[in-house]
Chain A
Amino acid sequence: MIRFTKPYLIMIFISIGLLFAQANFDLTLPDYLSKIVNVGIQQGGVEDAVPEAIREIEMNRTLMWLTPENQTDVLSAYTLVHNGSSEASLYVEKYPALLNQSVYVLTNSESATNTNLNPIMARALLIVSFVELLMMNDTLRMLVNAQLGLSLPGNGTDLFEYIKTQPPLTLLLIMTVANSRFSALGEKMIIQAATQVVREEYKALGMDINQLQLNYMFYYGGLMILLTLLSMACMIAVGYLAAKVATGMARDMRRDIFKKVEQFSSTEFDSFSTASLITRSTNDITQVQMAVIMIIRLVFYAPILGIGGIIHALDLAPTMWWIIAMAVGILLSLILMVFYVALPKFKSIQKLVDRLNLVAREGLTGIMVIRAFNKQQFEEIRFDKANIDLTKVSLFINRVMVIMMPVMMMLMNVLVIIIIWVGSHEVANANLQVGDMIAFMQYAMQVTMAFLMLSIMFIILPRASVSVNRIAEVLKVDILIRDPENPKHFDEPFRGKVEFRNVSFRYTGALEDVLHDISFTAHSGQVTAFIGPTGSGKSTLVNLIPRLYDVVTGEILIDDVDIREVSQHELRDKIGYVPQKSALFSGTIASNLLFANENASEVDLKSAIQTAQITEFVNGKTEGMATEIAQGGMNVSGGQKQRLSIARALVKKAPINILDDSFSNLDFKTDVALRKALRASLSVSTVLIVTQRVSTIKNADQIIVLNEGRIVGKGTHVELMENCAIYKDIAMSQLSLEELL
């Protein structure tokens, strides 16, 4: 089976690559969403506490709260731009405040990141903004003075300058108090709070902060759209590849299986039933095709998405892993439970449907008998029982399926509620931002969806694997009948003498031989007939001649060449064959006859039709030989089918002709006429006839009587009537005494 994926491996790998990309895009989306909520909305588009520009005065106020090393780090990241300088003209448009004062501009954002300025600046900026608040708010200042035992002056005094003049203790005291506040807030919230200060600073710089915020949102919104576009592109590409791979594989498999079956000899063919071979070549292939599409699109994708989702979610909120674990756990046990409960019912429902079908079919095929015996009521009760049985189980399954839906919904909703509850505590403890919580929710959904998808695998894979096995069984069959490596050829001119030498045969797997030690010779220009009770091996015997089966011991010679030494093609070219079960193919009458010999002329066809006693039928049709034949010859009667298949064999003009019980559906009159015509047209060939009717073969040159696989009589009708009891029995049962004479 693996070999069917080979030509598509590259496509499959590309699909997996694309799925990784798609998962990546899909999983980045919530990240961007949280950015939009956190930064775009809550922080007014200001991402962190390191401002891109800051007034000199503000910078000086900030620096005083920093350690000397931190001061160096900060200053190395910024460049001071003096108002009126040549540099200022570069920035003035962006920072209008440059017109009348100097501004520090962040020029080395890399060093800012390297030295991790974000929390440092955040703290300092918050203290600055607090002190600035004290300068404006007297009540607050008095409160602080009272609490800390300070005497910060009011009335427009620059408190920053004032603190610098005081002993370092004052500064330290303020910092300690601030720090204790900070530790209660937590890192994320400190930064979030500081962004408000930065925003105020931007306002002071004369920047359009609303524009800033919108720009931020459009930037990330644009990115999101880009991502969804890319994600869609990936999905479509995967869909394209999946369709190509699945249908391609289905095509290849179907091609191989059909080719294989066409090579089957009857031995291999018999080991499966025809219906089963048809299902394997059609339905099973479709099953596999559907499974391949699902595998590529869902089964490959689910683990990628699931694992990616878990990674992203844990990245956001590592302490909340248990929520996802719980959701997945409950989901899986729910699915397993449903499987456990419903699967046996699923299996039994198929049986019940079959049963219902059987009873209904019996009711239809036996309609005459049922009415003849007045059994309508009985049949209705029988059907009702099957119907009730089916209804009960199907109700159960319907209910399970229907109820799954609200339960799943409920599970998802409860998941969201738990995330909000737990998440808000995390937010309060400053481990999480609100936007992150919303993003976490999305990830949790994605993860559970992924597991849901995976559970579908439990449904598809077992079913597909059954189909795959059934296909593999056909493909791995060893074909027993093969051409020899160096085939011999029949001598010219071909005479058509058929000789059996001590032939025994048994079907594969059978315990007993069907034919024992059969020897006879059939000569050209003669009719050799085989008669005997059902199961005596007549059909088997003639089927050995075109090598539909191979003999087990002994040999079959045609013109003194063992038939296993020539190619099957050459052998069968010499044989005209009319099977017991006539098979016609869809097309026209003419196309069916030409099947035997493509080069046959119109005259040949006409004469074959004439001989086969079917002229009346063909001429009766307005279309004549162009009359449509439906699939399997379903639109002609059994007798017509039989005669058409005789005509087909005649068109071949083969030197050896086998007629396997080919008169059974004909009435006596047609039978006689046909035999007469055949005799004339096949006078120069070797004719082998299998029949159950004595009248059909009374005039054969040689009659071989078979019983339980052995030859029990050989001779002409008259000879056999005298010396073969079994033949006599058969004849007596069919004809009255005077007819036999």
Chain B
Amino acid sequence: MMQRPGGPMRGRGPMGATGVAREKATNFRGTMGKLFRYMGRYKGLVLLVFIFAAASTTANIIGPKILGTATTTLVTGVIAQISGTGVIDFASIGVILLEVLAIYVISAIFGFIQGWIMAGVSTNIAYRFRRDIAEKIDHLPLKYFDGTTYGEVLSRITNDVDTINQSLSQSLTQIITSVVTIVGVLIMMLSISWVMTLVALAMLPLSLLLMGVVIGRSQKYFKQQQDNLGHVNGHVEEMYGGHIVIKAFNGEEKSVEKFNKFNKNWYTGSWKANFFSGLMIPIMLFIGNLGYVAVTIFGAWLAIQNVITIGDIQAFIQYVRSFTQPLSQIANISNVLQQTAAAAERVFKFLEEEEETPDVTNPIKLERVKGLVEFRNVHFGYDPNKIIIQNFSAIAQPGQKVAIVGPTGAGKTTIVKLLMRFYDLNSGTILVDGHDTRDFTRADLRRMFGMVLQDTWLYNDSIMNNIRYSNQDATDEEVLAAASIAHVDPFVKMLPDGYNMVINEEITNVSQGQMQLLTIARAILANPPILILDEATSSVDTHTEILIQEAMDALMQNRTSFVIAHRLSTIRNADLILVMRDGDIVEQGNHNELLARGGYYAELYNSQFEKLNND
């Protein structure tokens, strides 16, 4: 029932029972075991569901047999009426019908209870899965997300959990009912006539064979269809994404040509996929009818021999009809279970990912943080086999400004991530006020830092709450004070609801520059002893840029600050400049020292002044 996000690429075809492309778990048995253990606390309820499902199905199966006796009584009565020896015995027909009615009502009530409980259990399990995944996210090291896209994680929360939910609420009970139905119907059929049962069962191998052929075929085409649809949709996404370029380079014709090729391919595969998956129903119906005719004729012959009654035939026919359905259901369920196992496997894999190393048991608590930061023989690499920061040492005295410079992609944010212990060092230590950062709890450590990054992050709530995010206990006055220092106040006052305006989901109702100001206000409110700042680049207009600069300057007053610097004035005024290249810190010192050295920094700096003139 949940919409499946994940973009149009996933567009699901009109697949019936046979259409689902097979998705297999690598360890079906193990995953299912885990799933059942996860359901642990619902064990009793699930058992109850099984019992009710079985009872409900059994009642449903007995019904036709008893109903058959009503017909038989009727026929006997009719014959008696004709030969003048009696009348139809309505009293006993009435009793029989009431009996059957009672059975059906009981069956319905059992079914009702079963569904009610199972829906509760499966929805609850889905809830718990989602909650556990969300909690897991908070305990994963940031490193995990280097190799996993957000889309993948989101897909765990929605698609995979939803698959499990659906499967539990429907397929699980379906397995029970199908199995009970098949066994029960078989018993009932045997109790009527074993010969007729044999006739009815003779249809089975035929239907299994045909089903196998059809499923095999349609799956092949469905795979093809999905691949082709992927090509078509991929091309559409890409061409629409680069529409301006297509126009500017006169590429429309080429694009349409390529599209038509994809589209035609899709068509050839797709109609076949649809056709073959549609074959299933008529073929099953035919086999059902074939069995039905065979049973009727054969039953009639037995009735002539006075072996069975007409009521028996009637009941038997109903049984034959209800025999084929659970069979195809079971064929389908194995598919569904595979999918469920695949989804559950992904979810469990996520839940079992290695978590961050736990905080130390006896963390240091600092009353006042002075802001002395020291890097001592730091070695670090995102990939432990590829150390990018080699033996780096530096000291930032309390209140000093440290500028981090380097070209794009040089890894300037790495330092930030290390300082706040988003990543752990491969070797060496980072110390704050003389203590190893690993000796603090992560929470305490991070509380010492205020961070304003260029990719600002706001969430779907009011501006007031977005600022307050850094300090939940702040009063409205404190928030307003921080806002005014950060130059947030003037523009917020012009917004429709002022501080109560809710940032919309796509964050389109505040500009890029305003977002930056808001995150600065947030940092001001947090009032941290150490700051990490990322200077704005080209995406902000001049006026806002000046405001941001002023706000940042105000913020940096008397605090140890690490600035990812773009402006030369910032760099020049820094007490310490860390020059980064290809992930490593290649030089350090102040502006004049570095210029005098004539190294990479000097090269970078001078390029700024190089005249463009060819001469």
Contact = CB atoms under 8 A, between A and B. Distances in A.
A and B from one assembly?
A: yes
Interface in B536-586: 537-543, 545-546, 549, 567-569, 572
Contacts of B120: 395, 399
B429 interface: no
A387 B130 contact: yes
Interface string A336-378: 0000000000100110010011111111111111111111101
A97 to B, nearest CB: 23
B568 A251 contact: no
Nearest to A404: B115
Interface footprint category on B: 35 or more
A496 to B, nearest CB: 16
Contact of B451 (A353, A372, A407, A665): A372
B97 A417 contact: yes
From DSSP, what is the main secondary structure of chain B's interface residues? helix
A229 B538 CA distance: 73
B310 A262 contact: no
Nearest to B93: A424
A417 B614 CA distance: 99
Interface footprint category on A: 35 or more
B42 interface: no
A569 B67 CA distance: 79
Contact of A217 (B67, B107, B240, B301): B301
B607 A669 contact: yes
Contacts of B541: 533-535, 692
B385 to A, nearest CB: 19
Interface string B265-296: 01100111011001101110110011001101
Contacts of B614: 676, 679-680
B491 interface: no
Contacts of B252: 262-263
B244 interface: yes
B538 A692 contact: yes
B36 interface: no
Contacts of A153: none
Nearest to A726: B542
B451 A368 contact: yes
A216 B420 CA distance: 90
B608 interface: yes
Contact of A548 (B247, B255, B290, B407): B247
Contact of B442 (A371, A534, A631): A371
A383 interface: yes
A554 interface: no
A585 B242 contact: yes
Interface stretch (A39-47, A51-59, A154-162, A518-526): A39-47
Given A290-B14, A739-B609, A360 B154 contact: yes
B331 interface: no
Nearest to B255: A262
Contacts of B457: 362, 365-366, 368-369
Contacts of A367: 137, 142, 145
Nearest to B540: A534
A393 to B, nearest CB: 10
B293 A228 contact: yes
Interface in B591-610: 603-604, 607-610
A437 B614 CA distance: 102
B77 A394 contact: no
B279 A239 contact: yes
A569 B545 CA distance: 41
A707 B275 CA distance: 61
A277 B303 CA distance: 67
Interface stretch (B82-90, B187-195, B388-396): B82-90
B18 interface: no
A224 interface: yes
B108 A410 contact: yes
Interface string B89-112: 010011001001100110111111
A583 B119 contact: no
A579 B94 contact: no
A606 interface: no
A621 interface: no
Given A365-B150, A410-B105, A548-B244, A282 B78 contact: no
B209 interface: no
A425 B94 CA distance: 11
A119 interface: no
A357 B242 CA distance: 27
Interface string B104-148: 110111111001101110111011001100110110001001000
A715 interface: no
A279 B11 CA distance: 10
Contact of B459 (A258, A349, A366): A366
B353 interface: no
B469 interface: yes
A635 interface: no
A584 to B, nearest CB: 8
Contacts of B481: none
A577 B248 CA distance: 6
B271 A248 contact: yes
Interface in A632-659: 632, 637-639, 645, 648, 652
B63 A413 contact: yes
Contacts of A246: 14, 271, 274
B238 interface: yes
Nearest to A237: B282
Contacts of A511: none
Contacts of B202: none
Given A236-B279, A364-B137, A699-B613, A349 B1 contact: yes
Contacts of A369: 451, 453, 457
A235 B281 contact: yes
Contacts of A374: 442-443, 446-447
Interface string B456-474: 0101100000000110100
A244 interface: yes
Contacts of A729: 542
Nearest to B148: A364
Contacts of A24: none
A311 interface: no
Given A41-B304, A403-B115, A428-B87, A398 B122 contact: yes
A397 B119 CA distance: 9
A453 interface: no
A428 B77 contact: yes
Nearest to A637: B409
A412 B196 CA distance: 26
B232 A383 contact: no
B97 A579 contact: no
Given A242-B278, A274-B243, A680-B614, A255 B145 contact: no
A428 B81 contact: yes
A210 B304 contact: yes
A632 B234 CA distance: 10
B241 A398 contact: no
Contact of B245 (A221, A269, A278, A579): A579
Contact of B8 (A283, A437, A730): A283
Contacts of B297: 36, 217-218, 221
A572 interface: yes
Contacts of B417: 368
Given A225-B289, A251-B263, A424-B77, 4 more contacts: A246-B274, A367-B137, A383-B131, A735-B568
26 contacts: A235-B282, A250-B270, A255-B259, A255-B260, A278-B236, A282-B232, A358-B460, A360-B134, A367-B142, A373-B469, A374-B446, A376-B138, A380-B134, A395-B124, A406-B112, A407-B108, A409-B108, A417-B101, A420-B71, A434-B75, A533-B542, A583-B241, A669-B603, A669-B604, A676-B612, A679-B614
Question: Which 6 pairs of residues, A with B, have the shortest CB-CB distance?
Answer: A406-B111, A583-B242, A402-B115, A667-B407, A239-B278, A282-B8
